[in-house]
Amino acid sequence: MAVAVAQRIRLSYSKYWYAYAMIAPVVIVLGVLVGYPLVRGIYLTLTNATSLNVGRQIGVNHIPDSFDFIGLDNYADVLWGPTAYDRFWSHFIWTVAWTAICVVLHYGIGLGLALLLNRKMRGRGLYRLVLILPWAVPTFVTVFSWRLMLADGGAVNGLLSFLHLPEPAWLSDPLAQKAAAILVNTWVGVPFMMISLLGGLQSIPQELYEAAEMDGAGPWQRFRHVTLPGLRTVSSTVVLLGVIWTFNQFAVIFLLFGSGAPDAQILVTWAYRLGFGQQPSDYAQSATYGILLLSILIVFTTFYRRWLARNEKANG
């Protein structure tokens, strides 16, 4: 074992050159299209740039940048300036709630369906095919479809009235808008979770279940002590990705409500609106939101990974 490891290390030394050659395309593409925008974005947050004072081309005349460097004022204004609660914190609270609720629903429903699909039963392949389908349909298509279904007099309220249940105005009532957004995003996100967790379930060795059964473990105990630990690596990855993707989920809310629904906007769509959805566009504030969003996710990821590592150690 030790020899093999030593050999591997020696092998990898001779491969440095190849390693760099192989990662070069990614590094270049990400550097140009992500790294540079990030640096420029950070710079913009320290200025008062809006669409009125950035350099632009009008016909043959080039108008130079005329915005000023204002230091950290944008951050101060967003986080504790006047009306900071209405602009930032209320959306922040909703974004955190939205992320938590969606990821819990994605994971819970995904795990439930994966457990069902992992049983030996007739039509398993067909169920699987149908259940992954929402993933294959482009998001904007499904969001438009949901928009038609959730409209007043649409299919959803038709069903609710048939069942003699209340019919909320999904696309205009603030609370119903939030529920509608969560509903659609859950529909969009469950297939990925389900398939990843199904893969995870299939990689748990059968012997572990047999051994647990020999020791007299009931179904619940087998689930708690064999299935959940067996899924730990898959779960930690998909939950992390789920949080990142849901936190930044732009299409669902943007396409479902268009420019309406100020209450249901999460931070990402709010930042987009500042930068593009209003006149004059406030590039500096929009970029500030972007950097804050990124910081929130980085802090979350760091703590999440540390928490995972500690758990790993505690559970041996």
Site for another protein in 139-158 (CB under 8 A): 139-142, 144-146, 148-149, 151, 153-155
Q: Does 88 interact with another protein (rule: CB under 8 A)?
A: no
| Residue 206, amino acid | Q
Instruction: Tell me the per-residue interface mask from 43 to 82 with another protein, x by CB under 8 A, - otherwise.
Output: ----------------------------------------
- Give the separation between CA 147 and CA 278, rounded to whole angstroms: 23
Q: Considering only residues 116, 179, 208, 308, which one is a binding residue for another protein as defined by CB under 8 A?
A: 116
Shortest separation between residue 103's beta carbon and another protein, angstroms = 15
Q: Does 290 interact with another protein (rule: CB under 8 A)?
A: yes
Which helix (H) or strand (E) is 203 found in, with range?
none
CB atoms within 10 A of CB 216: 7
Shortest separation between residue 153's beta carbon and another protein, angstroms = 6
Would you mind telling me the total number of residues written for the chain in this entry?
A: 316
CB atoms within 10 A of CB 306: 10
Q: Which residues touch 188 (CB under 8 Å, ≥6 apart)?
A: 134, 139, 142, 143, 252
Which helix (H) or strand (E) is 121 found in, with range?
none
Estimate to the nearest angstrom the gap between the alpha carbon of 111 and the chain centroid. 18
Q: Does 239 interact with another protein (rule: CB under 8 A)?
A: no
Q: Does 311 interact with another protein (rule: CB under 8 A)?
A: no
Number of residues that bind another protein (CB under 8 A): 101
Shortest separation between residue 259's beta carbon and another protein, angstroms = 10
Shortest separation between residue 50's beta carbon and another protein, angstroms = 12
Which helix (H) or strand (E) is 190 found in, with range?
helix 174-202
Shortest separation between residue 99's beta carbon and another protein, angstroms = 12
Q: Does 269 interact with another protein (rule: CB under 8 A)?
A: yes
Q: Does 195 interact with another protein (rule: CB under 8 A)?
A: yes
Q: Does 26 interact with another protein (rule: CB under 8 A)?
A: yes
- Tell me the three state secondary structure of residue 47: strand
